[in-house]
Amino acid sequence: MDNRPDAEKTAGFLAALSAFLMWGLLPLYWKAVQSVDSMEILCHRIVWSLVFIGIILTFKARWRETLAPLRSPRNLGILALSSICIGINWLIYIWAVNANHVLATSLGYYINPLVNVLFGFLFFKERLNRMQGIAIGLAALGVINSVINYGALPWISLTLAVSFACYGVLRKIAAVESLPGLFLETSVLTPVALLYLGYLNSQGVGAFPGAETHINLLLIGAGAATAMPLIGFAYGARRLQLTTLGILQYLGPSIAFLLGVFVFGEPFGTSQFITFCFIWGGLAVYTFDSIRNLRRQRRIARQ
């Protein structure tokens, strides 16, 4: 039973809600800098995330906690792998948004919770019940429908879903909190990012700092745009039930879906609708099962 004060739970809900709203609106941010190449945007996101998170960690005096994993070769190896996963995820996401595939990114993050369930079964021997199996099956039917109608896998959606699920698996087994972990991951990626940005500038083709002022500011702000939702999510996760977080997580891809259809005017025909219906159906089954299991656990705890 959750005995937290109502004010604390409300603050946690608002923080988590803000985080998912920011994640959902992120396509608008990347669209605003689409004049810059996606790889260059990614590199700025990495570098400025490192700077911004470093400032936050200094303000909160969390350096001892942040540097502690460096004493473990196992954690270092895991964080190196997770940095690759998150780097791939960020690059595909930025490229997809600016190549007018916002709907594909939405589908990817709708699929992600179901991939997480599958990975829990495969890697952590978590029991896969009938309802979860049905949910994953419906998602698979959605992917099959996309293959039948387009003759190719929805690779953007699957890459986003699988890369983020792999990231989740690695972070689950790494003994490090979210913000310090992201600092260490961006520390791994920053040298490569700086080398690439240096190369672009040496060739005279880099956008920063010669771009318009608002573009430069947006590239610098990519660090805050990356870290602020994570901070809100971490704050909310410690104060909310997992079921509440599980439902809120659909807000991000839902906003992206609405942006893709009604703001960016991406094609959304019958075949795309059928694919999304399969995924939405799978998520509905998964959410119903999660709520039912939570209620069952509460009844057992009260006995």
Nearest of 99, 96, 100 to residue 88 by alpha carbon: 96
Which pLDDT belongs to residue 4? Answer: 57
What is the total count of domains within the chain?
1
Residue 112 CA neighbour count, 13 Å, CB half: 25
Q: Residue 293's domain spans which residues? A: 6-302
Residue where the block lists tokens 């993050």: 109
Average pLDDT per run of 10 along the chain, which is 303 residues long? 66 88 95 95 96 95 90 90 95 96 94 87 84 89 85 88 91 84 94 96 86 92 93 80 75 94 92 91 87 76 68
pTM, rounded to two decimals = 0.89
Is residue 85 assigned to a domain? yes
CA distance 200 to 214: 20
Is residue 68 assigned to a domain? yes
Phi/psi region, residue 161 (left: phi>0; alpha: psi -120 to 50; beta: rest), is alpha
Is residue 119 assigned to a domain? yes
Which pLDDT belongs to residue 71? Answer: 87
Is residue 50 assigned to a domain? yes
Which pLDDT belongs to residue 85? Answer: 94
Is residue 226 assigned to a domain? yes
Which pLDDT belongs to residue 1? Answer: 47
Contacts for 275 with CB less than 8 Å, ≥ 6 apart: 107, 142, 143, 145, 146, 149, 154
**What single letter denotes the amino acid at residue 80?**
A
Question: Which sign, positive or negative, has the C-alpha torsion 18, 20, 25, 30?
Answer: positive
Is residue 242 assigned to a domain? yes
Which pLDDT belongs to residue 55? Answer: 95
Is residue 1 assigned to a domain? no
Residue 164 CA neighbour count, 13 Å, CB half: 22
Residue where the block lists tokens 């790889």: 39
Cβ 146 vs Cβ 274: under 8 Å: no
Is residue 96 assigned to a domain? yes
